[in-house]
Each structure stands twice: as structure tokens, then as C-alpha cells.
Amino acid sequence: MNILMVGDIVGAPGRKALAEVVGRMRSAGEADLVVANAENAAGGKGLTGPLASELLKAGANALTLGDHTWDQKEIAAYLDTDVPVIRPANFAPGCPGRGLATVRVGATGVTVINLVGRVFMDATDCPFRVVNALLNDAAGLGRIILVDMHAEATAEKVVMGRYLDGRVTAVVGTHTHVQTSDETILPGGTAYITDLGMTGGKNSAIGRDLESVTAMLLTGMPTKFRVSNKDVTLEGVLIEANEQTGKATAIRRVREPAGIAETEQE
Ligand SMILES: [Fe+2]
Ligand SMILES: [Fe+2]
């Protein structure tokens, strides 16, 4: 099974890039399953139900979130419906939504787990203990298990990859919007990368218009960050996984220009 995991989708340009690039890769038989981080899909801030539906129709099988999960208030009710759109599993117990979803690709069950880091981020439960408990409760888990570890600190993501090596098919990092070059298959057969990168306007400050971010950094004044539509690109990884063993056999970085004109939408 060829699995495309996509870095944080930023605004309308990012959503268009997902539709374009995933459409092409699916037609070429390059991607059987697509998981994308959508925490910045709504104008850079969170996700809404209609935008989640748009991304699922455009070819994503499941969507993950992160520290921007609650930016759009309406998402809370949507996450409580039966959709393959998940928020970090180590958010406080009792908050809306789920941190794990299992989808089917042909005869194979694929479980997607979302976690958020604790280093340089808001307080949450321990992602290591939470994922350990989820994996020990084996009932209903798919043969393929994909973990999106949404975190700031590289070391926290590196350690999560090693912690889960051999127990899951892939651990991929998200959140920094900057793709790392450390993709590898760990000794136990888990595909790993510290950060997938981002999907949106690359000629920017991690997806936001350079002019507005530069003005904020120079003046220290609060500034409205516009979403960039320059050099719209999809970033992530393609993972080849064995459906019998659940192990990854290959991982390669993806940085694919969407080939779309600059837009004015957010
Ligand atoms: Fe984030
Ligand atoms: Fe993000």
C-alpha cells in the first residue's frame, strides 16, 4: 500500500494544492491512502466542517489536527460526528472528538492516531503514555497504524519515533511547517520523519504572507497575517507499507508544486 502523508494545509491555496496533487497521484496509482494535517486549513486558523468535507472529497481519507484544533468554534460539534477527522488523543479527557480513527482501504484497516507534543507548547496529557494505552487496547486497530506527532521540538518527535518503532507503520511529525531531511525506516520497521513540511504558499513565512510577518517582527505590533498564495506546493512523504506485516518498506519525501496560479482567496 502506498500512503501519502501531507504536511499542514494552509488556507485556500493549501486546499487547492491538496486537490491538485492528490488527484494527479491517485490517477497515476502512486497513492492508495492519503492522510493530511488540516489544522491551518481555514484561512490558517483551524478547520471547519464544510472545509473538512471539501478535503475528504478532494481525496484525503483522514485528517489530523494540532494546537490550532479549536480556532474555529464550530469544529467541536463536527468532531463528535462519525468522520475520519481527529484531534490530538492527549487533549484533556472529555473534550470533543477523538484522537484515533480507523478507515478501510480495500480489505485493510488503517488506524490513524494524532498526538500533540508538550515541549514549548500548551499543557496536555503525556503523549507517550496516551499512545501506549491506545496501542495496548488492540481491539479495532487496523493492520496499518499511522501516527501524526504534532510538535515543536525535534527531540520530542525523534523520541516518539523510537518509542513506537516496531509497533506502528509510521510516525511523522507536523507543526513546524518546515520539512526535515531525516526520513528513514527505523530498525523495527517504522517509517519516520521529524516534520512533513507544509502545503500552501511556500514563498512565505511558513504559509503566511512575508510582508505581514516581517512587519510584526520589525515592529512588535499585532498584525493580521494573510495566507500566502505564492509558489503553492504540497509537502509530505510517500510511504510504502506491507499490508500483511504492517511494517513500512520505504519512505520518500514529497515536495510537489501544485501548478496553480496565485489566488486571492483565504
Ligand atoms: Fe501546529
Ligand atoms: Fe500548522
Mean pLDDT of 33-57: 98
Q: What percent of the chain has pLDDT over 70?
A: 98
Model pLDDT, residue 70: 98
Mean pLDDT of 186-209: 97
Mean pLDDT computed over every residue of the chain:
96
Mean pLDDT of 4-20: 98
Are residues 46 and 71 in contact, defined by beta-carbon separation less than 8 angstroms? Answer: yes
Ligand nearest to the CA of 87: 1
Model pLDDT, residue 177: 98
Cα of 65 vs centre of ligand 1, distance in Å, is 8
| Confidence band, pLDDT 50/70/90 cuts, at residue 139 | confident
Question: Angle CA(146)–CA(196)–CA(74) in degrees, nearest 5?
Answer: 75
Is 58 in a helix, a strand, or coil? coil
Instruction: Give ion ligand 1 contacts, CB < 5 A.
Output: 66-67, 175
Q: What residues contact 80, with CB distance under 8 A and at least 6 apart?
A: 96, 97
If we measure between CA atoms, which residue out of 234, 197, 227 comes closest to residue 20?
A: 234
Rg (CA), the chain: 17
Model pLDDT, residue 18: 98
- pLDDT tens by residue, 230-246: 999 999 999 999 999 99
Instruction: Give ion ligand 2 contacts, CB < 5 A.
Output: 8, 39-40
Cα of 107 vs centre of ligand 1, distance in Å, is 33
Mean pLDDT of 199-215: 96
Model pLDDT, residue 263: 54
- pLDDT tens by residue, 82-95: 999 999 999 999 99
Mean pLDDT of 64-75: 98
The stretches of the chain forming alpha helices (DSSP H) are 11-27, 49-57, 75-79, 127-136, 154-164, 210-219
Structural element, H or E, at residue 248: strand 248-257
Residues with a catalytic annotation lie at: 68
In this structure, is the dihedral angle defined by the CA atoms of residues 211, 217, 218 and 221, taken in order, positive or negative? positive
If we measure between CA atoms, which residue out of 19, 8, 132, 27 comes closest to residue 71?
A: 8
Are residues 109 and 130 in contact, defined by beta-carbon separation less than 8 angstroms? Answer: no
What's the DSSP call for residue 107?
A: T
Domains, the chain: 2-255 (3.60.21.10)
Model pLDDT, residue 131: 98
11 pLDDT above the threshold of 60: yes
Is 175 in a helix, a strand, or coil? coil
Q: How far apart are CA 76 and CA 74, in angstroms?
A: 5
Mean pLDDT of 120-140: 94
Cα of 13 vs centre of ligand 2, distance in Å, is 14
Mean pLDDT of 120-128: 97
Tell me, yes or no, if the pTM score tops 0.85. Answer: yes
If we measure between CA atoms, which residue out of 103, 31, 42 comes closest to residue 74?
A: 42
Mean pLDDT of 149-156: 98
Cα of 15 vs centre of ligand 2, distance in Å, is 13
Cα of 175 vs centre of ligand 1, distance in Å, is 4
If we measure between CA atoms, which residue out of 73, 55, 239, 126 comes closest to residue 64?
A: 55
Is 39 in a helix, a strand, or coil? coil
Phi, psi of 152 (to 5 degrees): -80, -50
Cα of 67 vs centre of ligand 1, distance in Å, is 5
Cα of 91 vs centre of ligand 1, distance in Å, is 14
CB atoms within 10 A of CB 127: 25
Mean pLDDT of 134-145: 92
Q: How far apart are CA 32 and CA 11, in angstroms?
A: 25
